[in-house]
Amino acid sequence: MELLNALALLGNFLIVPGITYGCQLALGALGITLIYGILRFSNFAHGETMAFGTMTVILVTWALQGAGVSFGPLPTALLALPFGIAATVALVLVTDRYVYRFYRTQRSTPVIYLIASIGVMFLYNGLIRFVIGPGDQNFSDGERFIIRAREFKQMTGLDEGLAIRTTQGITVVVTVILVIALFWFLNRTRAGKSMRAYSDNEDLALLSGIDPNRVVMIAWILTAALATIAGTLYGLDKSFKPFTYLQILLPIFAAAIVGGLGSPVGAIAGGFVIAFSETAVTFAYRKVFGYMGYETDSLMQLLSTDYKFAVSFAILVIVLLVRPTGLFAGKSF
């Protein structure tokens, strides 16, 4: 019984949030890794792209709510997603046309792209703050829980509750669907195969008649869609605040590098590695140890939550030291 209580406690505060956060990071890291594979630079504006997508979703959600549309027990934001994706796709394509394309024709080094992406990050950042302001926005509606802590306790007779919020369930379901769709696209369709070929060997791909502009465009469209969905899920789960999307950049990069830059499978694995390490290291284990028969005054917490970036950073450093290509052998040079 005590053991089950400890497990329920871990499930509620560590495993369920870990899986949810892992899904969000994985979707974010997929966007980074796709751009890296095709355009060969680390896109610092990715966090802001997520924030922009989420912002348009929020605005459309408000409009829908105002018009009295709702999605039953599910958040209205899911209905607004297509609009958000469309707006974000338009934004990144315009950005690519007026910022990155020039450097592509110049065949600039990745560092120049990186600086340009920092400039883009500022533009987006200013745009977002200009439209929706720097404050907190809560746009989640519909049913809040799939399983409430109280119901779980009654069901199992345990002292510890295991709650699953709707947003957590949606995050997992949406991520699974997206990942399956993405891999089907990359492995089975002609466009997806041409993307992989382009990522593996640009010159060879050009010789076999693949249109680079088309590949780049598809990469941006996929990235914008992934970013909008990842940002919206994150915003539904926590809340929307422009600043947090700047901060999430570090764990997302860490996830992409840990998995191996340029490798989609790696990005997903990396997302979960980072998410679980972050939650596990900053979790206070006192009650768990209590159930295991070890009472203590100490919180039994390895690091305070203020240092959660330090966890992703530490993992990043270890990967750079031990295996710079990442778990799934991306490109390190």
Tokens of 134: 């720097």
Under rule CB under 8 A, residue 15 binds another protein: no
CA-to-CA separations, 279 to 9, 114, 306, in angstroms, rounded? 13, 30, 12
| Candidate residues 69, 90, 94, 111; the one interacting with another protein per rule CB under 8 A | 111
Under rule CB under 8 A, residue 302 binds another protein: yes
Q: What is the dihedral of CA 17, 145, 159, 305, to 10 degrees?
A: 30
DSSP lists the bridge partners of residue 240 as 137
Shortest reach from residue 177's CB to another protein, in Å? 30
Strands (E), 92-133: none
Shortest reach from residue 74's CB to another protein, in Å? 32
Contact 32, 50 (CB under 8 A): no
Under rule CB under 8 A, residue 129 binds another protein: yes
DSSP lists the bridge partners of residue 165 as 145
| Span of 81-89, 114-122, 152-160, 224-232 interacting with another protein by CB under 8 A | 114-122
Under rule CB under 8 A, residue 331 binds another protein: yes
Return the closest-CA partner of residue 275 out of 301, 326, 312.
312
| Span of 111-119, 136-144, 204-212, 263-271 interacting with another protein by CB under 8 A | 111-119
**Site residues (CB under 8 A) for another protein, limited to 24-43:** 41-42
DSSP lists the bridge partners of residue 145 as 165
Size of the site for another protein (CB under 8 A): 51
Our CB check for another protein shows the closer of 64 and 246 to be: 246
Our CB check for another protein shows the closer of 145 and 307 to be: 307
Handedness of CA 298, 299, 301, 304 (dihedral sign): negative
> Mask: binding to another protein, 41-80, rule CB under 8 A, as x and -?
xx-x------------------------------------
Our CB check for another protein shows the closer of 236 and 258 to be: 258
Our CB check for another protein shows the closer of 40 and 193 to be: 40
| Candidate residues 254, 255, 273, 274; the one interacting with another protein per rule CB under 8 A | 254
Under rule CB under 8 A, residue 327 binds another protein: no
Q: What is the dihedral of CA 231, 20, 288, 258, to 10 degrees?
A: -80
| Candidate residues 71, 185, 276, 313; the one interacting with another protein per rule CB under 8 A | 313
| Candidate residues 35, 257, 268, 269; the one interacting with another protein per rule CB under 8 A | 257
| Candidate residues 253, 283, 285, 291; the one interacting with another protein per rule CB under 8 A | 253
Shortest reach from residue 204's CB to another protein, in Å? 22
Under rule CB under 8 A, residue 312 binds another protein: yes
Our CB check for another protein shows the closer of 45 and 78 to be: 45
Under rule CB under 8 A, residue 329 binds another protein: no
At position 4, the amino acid (one-letter code) is L
At position 103, the amino acid (one-letter code) is Y
Contact 280, 314 (CB under 8 A): no
What is the per-residue DSSP string for 31-63?
A: HHHHHHHHH-S--TTHHHHHHHHHHHHHHHHHH
**212-237 and 16-39 are packed helices; what angle lies between their axes, rounded to 10 degrees?**
160
At position 26, the amino acid (one-letter code) is A
The three-state (H, E, C) secondary structure of 192-222, written as one string = HHHHHHHHHCHHHHHHCCCCHHHHHHHHHHH
Q: Which residues bind another protein (CB under 8 A)?
A: 41-42, 44, 99, 102, 109-112, 114-116, 118-127, 129-130, 133-134, 246-247, 249-250, 253-254, 257, 261, 298, 302, 304, 306-307, 309-310, 312-313, 316-317, 320-321, 324, 331-333
